[in-house]
Amino acid sequence: MKPDSSDPPPEPSHLNPTPDDYSRTAFADKCQLSLTAGSGGHGCISFLREKFIAEGPANGGDGGSGGNIYIQAVRGETSLHKLARRRIVKAARGKNGQGKGKGGQRGEDVLLQVPVGTVVREVSRHDPAAEEEEEQQGMNDDAVEDEVRGQWRRDKWILYPSAIPSYYATAEFPTIQRSRKLAQLPAPIHLDLSQPMEAPMLLASGAVGGLGNPHFVSKTYPRPKFATKGDPGMTVTVELELKLLADVGFVGLPNAGKSTLLRAMSRSRARVGSWAFTTLQPNIGTVVLDNHHGRPQFSASRATGEPRTQFSIADIPGLIADAHKDRGLGLGFLRHVERAQVLAFVIDLGAGDAVEAVKGLWHELAAFEALRERETNLQTESRMIDWKAFGSAAPTVSVHDVAVARNGAGAVINPSASQQLPELALKPISTKPWFVVATKADCAGTQENYGLLQTYLEAVASGDEPHPSGMKNNWRGKLAALPVSAIRGEGVERIPEWTISLLSD
């Protein structure tokens, strides 16, 4: 039945917004960062200058240590887009030492706040201080003696500008043994931040500052005219990836009403429309269970015993047939499905057989899960050692796998930053709890379709019908089909209650 042209158009609202009410959700679930800790400040060459003191003693201050880089998983964050835009994170350099024994101020630290469920993996590392320490351990005594007698490295020492060259030609420059003040995580870094952290964790510690000239006072040189430079900061390239995108993920065909349902349950301003693929990237919404006004709507707790005051929902772009073959929006958004703790299949009751729609969505998810299993097996086989009974083969290193940088004293070999890390080992999709949200239940002629859907889900739960994924180790629990009208906001109050029951299991 066509609407009468004389009927007034529906008034704009949060569920029926105008285009100026749309908001693009900034979202990123994977990024690569280059973290550079702060370099140390240089030591100072200074002497006491007072009345009646012709040649005062050395009183140069030490340089300040460089800033550290910390990471902390917090509840409030839901995406990595803030860090993905930065790409390069640098801590502040320590200040240089000053006269009168004043030490330099240490560099300012950097704190990276990431969502709970972030996995941090190291890609490459360049630590000049650690490489120099290994180089000194490998040097023999003769080499150390040659460095002490009349030779110095310009990248390590600061010389007094008014001193004559003969002073440094006979000066004895001692070998400096310094270590990083804060304990550094062992390489390679691999962190699974699955719980909120009360205190930050150190990722890259700042370099040590240089020493002032009072450290080198001796009988031979009571007024040393040299000091040391601060160590350069280390650089670590890490990859951040969300293991858990959201508590609930909306899975459905295009134009099934997922974005409207998200707006009905939260304050999200996701774009909605009557055409397919209005959502081109996941939209994250938050359902508040306790707004701290009166009694909470639901009483729930997390696995750690912490009271649950909210849960997050991810509106995942629509899936089409053969999505596991990279059609439509492709594999990139199937990857988001396995990062949801609970799956909510959003089915349009007015768009054909609802049972076939559920089976079609599960077929794509099962094909994607099988594809991931094959990729995991191939990666495992590639990491196996090729053993030969007769003869031995020395491991070969490609020039593309190492980067050689020469800086006076020798060569520093660093792993290439272009290496590919293996995919994260996540929970299979078929083992996740799931239920069905039947949208557009207010349309005429949808009661019979809903009845068939409910009968099918009861048969799957009882074991009379096979699991729609076809997998053996699938989730077996109580299934439900919740009829809603998202555009009117009717029936959506049952979804949080059912979701909390699945999250608490």
Hey, CA dihedral for 347, 348, 352, 354, is it positive or negative?
positive
The Cα–Cα gap between 110 and 108 comes to 7
List the Cα angle 29/32/36 in 5-degree steps.
135
Residue 406's pLDDT is 33
3-state SS, residue 192:
strand
Global confidence as pTM: 0.74
pLDDT of 302: 72
Which stretches does DSSP call E strand in 411-487? 411-415, 434-439, 481-483
Q: Which pLDDT tens digit goes with each residue over 66-104?
A: 999 999 999 878 888 889 888 999 999 999 999 998 999
Q: What per-residue confidence (pLDDT) applies to 199?
A: 92
Which pLDDT does position 146 carry in this prediction? Answer: 47
pLDDT at 409: 37
Q: Which residues contact 136 (CB under 8 A, 6 or more apart)?
A: 144, 175, 177
Q: How many CB atoms lie within 10 A of CB 196?
A: 15
Among candidate residues 121, 113, 136, 129, the one with its CA nearest the CA of residue 66: 129
What is the pLDDT, as a whole number, of residue 352? 83
Determine the Cα–Cα distance for residues 429 and 133; give it in Å rounded to an integer: 47
DSSP string, 50-112: BTTBSSPPB-PPPPPPPPPEEEEEESS---SHHHHHH-EEEPPPPPPP-STTPPPPPPPPEEE
Asked if 425 contacts 127 with a C-beta cutoff of 8 angstroms, the reply is: no
Cα–Cα distance measured from residue 478 to residue 462, given in angstroms and rounded to the nearest whole number: 9
CB 196 within 8 A of CB 117: no
Q: What is the C-alpha radius of gyration for the chain, rounded to an integer number of angstroms?
A: 32
Indicate if the alpha-carbon torsion angle 362, 366, 369, 371 is positive or negative.
Answer: negative
H/E element holding 140?
A: none
> By three-state DSSP, how is residue 301 classified?
strand
Strands 110-115 and 69-74: parallel
DSSP annotation of 488 reads T
Q: Give tens-digit pLDDT for 7-18.
A: 444 566 666 666
Q: What kind and span of H or E run contains 499?
A: helix 494-504
Give the residue ranges of the chain where pLDDT is below 50. Answer: 1-9, 144-146, 383-418
Q: Can you give the pLDDT at residue 400?
A: 33
